[in-house]
Amino acid sequence: MFLEFKKQVSSALEDAVASLGFQTDDLGLEASQHADIASKVAFRLAAQAKQNPKELAEKIAEAIFLPDDSLIGEITTVGPYININANRNYIDETVFRIRKEEDGFGGGFCEGRILLEHTSANPNGPLHVGHIRNSIIGDTLKRILMRAGYDVETQYYVNDMGRQIAIVSWALTQFEFDTSRKPDHAIADVYIKANAKLNDNPEKVSEIDSRMQLVEKGDEATIKSFDEAVALVVEGIRETLLRMNVEHDSFPHESGFIRSGAVNRIVEEIKATGRTEVDDGALVVDLSDYGFEKTLVIQRSDGTSLYTTRDLAYHEWKGERADRMIDVLGADHKLISGQLKATLNAIGKKEPEIVIFEFVSLPEGSMSTRRGKFIPADDLLDKIEDQAYVEVEKRRPEMPDEFKRQVARNVGIGAVRYDIVKVSPEKSTVFDWKEALDFEKQGGPFIQYSHARACSILKKAQEDGLWDSARPIDPSLLIEDTEVDLIKKMAAFDSVIETSSRELKPHSVAIYARELADSFNQFYRFVPVISAEDEEVRSVRLALVDCARIVLANALDTLGIAAPESM
RNA sequence: GGUCCCGUGGCUUAGCCAGGAUAUAGCAUCGGGCUUCUAACCCGAGGGCCGGGGGUUCAAAUCCCUCCGGGAUCGCCA
């Protein structure tokens, strides 16, 4: 709804500026604490108009023409600022729309097909607390883009033939596989042992090399041993992701692009550009004109392909199947993803948009599956759910155990997802158990609680025979400050989705959801609903609570966090 | 050493790309609020030369330069 208001403001301001004989492509619109939206256009035009910004602002404000059905209300100037407020129509219309559109409210203004790749961790062990930053950013992005209106397919690109996987398959011949453990964890055990053994016995490395050559040549027994190990780990990873409400639509395997011949084809295409040369037996690409000093290796001296080579083929394939490709990658991929884009560009292929997130490290240093230095996501989820159970027990001791477990799951995952997504991806973080298990106030559970609270009011009203969602309402009775603030906050949801989908920044949705819950809680505190004296007022306030329930649920859904009716 | 990212009250953090009105919020601290729709809540207070220094501008947390601190990365790993 705010998007529509903003559009009207833009066009009204443009017309006003034009009517005074000026031109600008920057209306300087910004959120403001003094109005629903403010314009700094007078600053921009002051030089051109040779007038002082204050007088200019007044002239522009006077020149604004508003049609009858406008959403724009009061317009004032304070110095050079033009402060523009929405009118009553905006408030009332917002309430009507939320009730009409329900779970669709706040989206549906974009179209196109997007392939979104995220997580794609190597299947050599379980997801750890660093990986899930990728998963949560990626999954939230998916939800944001889908709400915005895009057709989104998420993919987990499975590395089923890299060096690490060769080590895993070798490890299974060297060490006993503990079938009593979750398979991704059991694989990590033997993988860690294998790496230690290879470290102590460097002559064994040739066994890994030969496995890689065999799999690339299509040796069935070797491929089978890789596949089995990979399938075990991927199954465990999917289970972990599902616990966090993360689900991928497909799992393309790297080997598929070798077998289809796509990798060989793309190597030939790159050769045809004349950019390649053989350096020390390896095939390298010159990307110096793209600003990369070092060449990019796309084939080992033994002729086998690298991750990068297979990734090029994968992106070519994706580019043919979508309007946009988005990859969520860790900071260690910054350079390689730039080289990937440059190479795709050099052969005339579509390039992906890359979302980079910085690392999550441990107090003692960076995480490493190979060295066994990591905290499995499963451990974090187990502990946070245990902690959440304690919190539920404290508050709802009388409820059945099944209820408490369910709430603990929802709240625990909500806390984890919110905690991770609320921070800008470009900040590196250090994982801290104490912090992770501390139910930070005004985090995920705070928003879930607000939703439960709205549900609780509606439930009670319904039991008392006071609430009927079909009954006509008169939103103009919603005049308390906290009511209007809440409605305006809800109206802004579409604009938050629009911005975060355009900038691919999921954390702004997290901030918004918290602010929305905050607005609702203030309304709850100051305005009686069920006990409102006037029947009409009570009805419309109940409708407002229902609106809050809807928008809170939409915001939570966008964050991949459950919206419990009771907790 | 080169390149990229980050550095905002005790801690975590928004704003920076598109410079402008008293710099955002949470945690923690202190004070207040449950006979009233779930207190996982609400209200209030203190606390910041926006890492340091230069520059551009009428105006800099925001742009440029430089230094310091942290992270990432620098061909046959992914």
Give the tens place of pLDDT for each residue, A551-560.
999 999 999 9
Local structure of residue A509 (DSSP, 8 states): H
CA of A440 to C1' of B28 (A): 11
Q: Which two tokens mark A268?
A: 């030939």
CA of A426 to C1' of B17 (A): 13
pLDDT of residue A519: 95
Hits for CB < 7 Å against strand B across A residues 209-268: none
CA distance A425 to A304: 34
CA of A527 to C1' of B44 (A): 20
Domain positions in chain A = 2-86, 118-361, 378-558
CATH class of A378-558: mainly alpha
In the predicted structure, residue A533 carries a pLDDT above the cut 90: no
- What percent of chain A clears pLDDT 70, i.e. is strictly above it? 100
pLDDT of residue A108: 92
pLDDT digits (tens, 9 = 90+) for A138-188: 999 999 999 999 999 999 999 998 889 999 999 999 999 999 999 999 999
pLDDT of residue A156: 97
CATH class of A118-361: alpha beta
Q: What is the mean pLDDT of residues A354-382?
A: 93
Q: What is the mean pLDDT of residues A258-277?
A: 94
Helices (H), A175-289: 183-200, 205-217, 220-243, 254-259, 262-272
Q: Of the candidates A265, A304, A258, which has an alpha carbon nearest to the alpha carbon of residue A281?
A: A304
Which residue do the tokens 């290796």 mark? A297
pLDDT of residue A478: 94
pLDDT of residue A257: 94
pLDDT digits (tens, 9 = 90+) for A429-453: 999 898 888 877 788 999 999 999 9
Strands A360-361 and A353-357, by their bridges, are: unpaired
pLDDT of residue A306: 92
A278 in contact with nucleic chain B (CB within 7 A): no
**Positions in chain B where some atom is under 7 Å from a protein CB:** 4-7, 12-15, 17-18, 20-22, 25-28, 36-43, 58-59, 70-78
Query: Nearest-5° angle of CA A527, CA A528, CA A530?
Result: 145
Taken as a whole, chain A contains a residue count of 567
pLDDT of residue A263: 95
In the predicted structure, residue A50 carries a pLDDT above the cut 90: no
Q: What is the CA radius of gyration of chain A?
A: 28
pLDDT of residue A413: 95
Element (H, E) at A37: strand A37-39
* 3-class SS string, A433-493: HHHHHCCCCCCHHHHHHHHHHHHHHHHHHHHCCCCCCCCCCCHHHCCCHHHHHHHHHHHCH
pLDDT digits (tens, 9 = 90+) for A306-317: 999 999 999 999
Closest residue to B2 (CA, C1′)? A293
Do domains A2-86 and A118-361 share one topology? The answer is no
Interface predicted TM-score (ipTM): 0.94
CATH class of A2-86: alpha beta
In the predicted structure, residue A292 carries a pLDDT above the cut 80: yes
Hits for CB < 7 Å against strand B across A residues 104-133: 122
pLDDT of residue A33: 86
Q: What is the mean pLDDT of residues A314-327?
A: 96
Reading phi first (left if > 0) and then psi (alpha if -120 to 50, else beta), residue A49 is in alpha
CA distance A375 to A132: 11
pLDDT of residue A559: 97
pLDDT band at A365 (very low <50, low <70, confident <90, very high): confident
pLDDT digits (tens, 9 = 90+) for A66-114: 998 999 999 999 989 999 999 999 999 999 999 999 999 999 999 999 9
The single-letter code of the amino acid at A475 is P
In the predicted structure, residue A45 carries a pLDDT above the cut 90: no
Q: What is the mean pLDDT of residues A345-369?
A: 93
pLDDT of residue A469: 85
A548 in contact with nucleic chain B (CB within 7 A): no
pLDDT digits (tens, 9 = 90+) for A450-502: 999 999 999 999 998 888 888 899 999 999 999 999 999 999 999 999 999 99
A514 in contact with nucleic chain B (CB within 7 A): yes
Query: Nearest-5° angle of CA A506, CA A483, CA A101?
Result: 55
Mean of the per-residue pLDDT values for chain A? 93
pLDDT band at A216 (very low <50, low <70, confident <90, very high): confident
CA of A54 to C1' of B59 (A): 15
pLDDT digits (tens, 9 = 90+) for A112-152: 999 999 999 999 999 999 999 999 999 999 999 999 999 99
pLDDT band at A512 (very low <50, low <70, confident <90, very high): very high
Q: What is the mean pLDDT of residues A280-285?
A: 93
